[in-house]
């Protein structure tokens, strides 16, 4: 077992040394692999950040339930307690008419006009916050149920833009998966073609090795490690490209997110994302090498 592990380490280091002796060709191949992996990873990070940002806008999903004029504060509080126990409702709170009027009075645009009023025209209002997991259809059903109550005058909720945002994110997510599959297939083909050329260049060496009794596994191993290093280096470079892209976008994105009352914390490379990119690079590199070796190595037989 120790001898086998030593042989694998030697093959891995020999494959890395062979790539280092061809820096230009290696850099071009690794660069193409990195770009192919970085594109879907970057788009996926942006979509995930958009989902986190949309999920943090909990107050935008709140219902504003305006009670009919003349409804007492006691009735409003009883209704708030009843709704708080409703399935699909996370919490409720009551905004008293006097508190709402005082809030409007602090606005210079309404202060003078409100002073001319003899009585408070504002009704008591309930703010109903649904569960974060509630779908747009459930929100519409809850809105209709609230609007049917006799003490409720108006229920205000704009779920149309939420449905549009969810639909856009779904389309982007599906498109990213399609692009990722195509780009991963391209990486496999690139690695396979590179390994195929390397096999052809070392054809005579392979024939001599087989004449000396080398097995197919022995001959195959160095090429598999070449694919391994292509995938590992391509995945590492892809992570660097993703991080560099996020750093370039950090300033504009931070200014945009500030306008929506959120921050840049939702956009970043998580450990899971890093492992996924590196894992994809390794799988693609090894798969491309395996396919190329399995197809072309068996065709090379020593001439007796």
For the chain, the average pLDDT equals 79
The Cα–Cα gap between 45 and 93 comes to 36
- Please tell me whether residues 40 and 130 are part of one structural domain: no
Within a domain: 304: no
- Please tell me whether residues 181 and 130 are part of one structural domain: no
Per-residue pLDDT, 30: 92
Of 62, 60, 59, 75, which Cα lies nearest the Cα of 155?
62
pTM above 0.85, yes or no: no
Six token digits for residue 167: 């639909």
Within a domain: 178: yes
- Please tell me whether residues 90 and 144 are part of one structural domain: yes
Residue by residue, pLDDT tens for the chain (304 residues) are: 677 677 778 878 888 888 888 888 889 999 999 998 998 888 888 777 766 665 555 556 677 888 888 888 888 888 888 888 888 788 888 888 778 767 766 665 565 666 666 677 678 888 888 877 777 677 778 888 888 888 888 888 766 666 676 677 778 888 888 888 888 888 888 888 888 888 888 778 777 777 777 776 777 788 889 999 999 999 999 999 998 888 887 777 777 667 655 655 656 778 888 898 999 899 988 898 888 887 777 666 655 5
Residue-range definition of the domain harbouring residue 76? 63-156
b vs e for 82-100, b when ≥16 Cβ sit within 10 Å of the residue's Cβ?
A: ebeeeebbbebebbbbeee
The Cα–Cα gap between 131 and 61 comes to 9
b vs e for 240-263, b when ≥16 Cβ sit within 10 Å of the residue's Cβ?
A: ebbeebbeeeeeebeeebeeeebe
Question: Structural domain tally of the chain?
Answer: 2
- Please tell me whether residues 142 and 174 are part of one structural domain: no
Q: What is the CATH number of the domain that holds 117?
A: 3.30.70.3040
């Amino acid at each position: 077992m120790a001898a086998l592990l030593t042989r694998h380490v030697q093959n891995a280091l020999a494959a890395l040394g062979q790539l280092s002796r061809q820096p230009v060709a290696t850099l071009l191949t690794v660069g193409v692999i990195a770009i192919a992996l970085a594109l879907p990873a970057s788009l996926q990070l942006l979509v995930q950040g958009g989902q986190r940002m949309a999920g943090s806008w909990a107050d935008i999903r709140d219902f504003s339930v305006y009670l009919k004029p003349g409804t007492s504060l006691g009735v409003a509080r009883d209704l708030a307690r009843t709704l708080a126990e409703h399935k699909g409702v996370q919490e409720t709170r009551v905004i008293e008419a006097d508190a709402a009027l005082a809030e409007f009075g602090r606005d210079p645009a309404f202060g003078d006009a409100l002073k001319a009023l003899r009585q408070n025209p504002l009704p008591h209002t309930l703010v109903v916050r649904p569960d974060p997991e509630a779908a747009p259809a459930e929100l519409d059903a809850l809105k209709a149920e609230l609007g049917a109550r006799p003490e409720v005058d108006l229920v205000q909720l704009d779920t149309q833009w939420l449905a549009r945002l969810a639909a856009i994110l779904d389309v982007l997510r599906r498109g990213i998966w399609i692009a990722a599959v195509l780009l991963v297939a391209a990486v496999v083909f690139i690695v396979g073609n590179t390994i195929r050329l390397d096999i052809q260049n070392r054809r005579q060496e392979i024939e001599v090795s087989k004449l000396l009794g080398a097995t197919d596994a022995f001959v195959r191993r160095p090429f598999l490690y070449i694919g391994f290093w292509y995938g590992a280096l391509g995945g590492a470079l892809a992570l660097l490209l993703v991080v560099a892209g996020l750093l370039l976008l950090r300033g504009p994105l931070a200014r945009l997110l500030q306008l929506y009352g959120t921050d840049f914390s939702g956009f970043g490379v998580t450990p899971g994302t890093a492992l996924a990119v590196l894992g994809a690079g390794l799988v693609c590199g090894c798969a491309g090498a395996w396919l190329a070796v399995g197809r072309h190595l068996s065709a090379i037989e020593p001439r007796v």
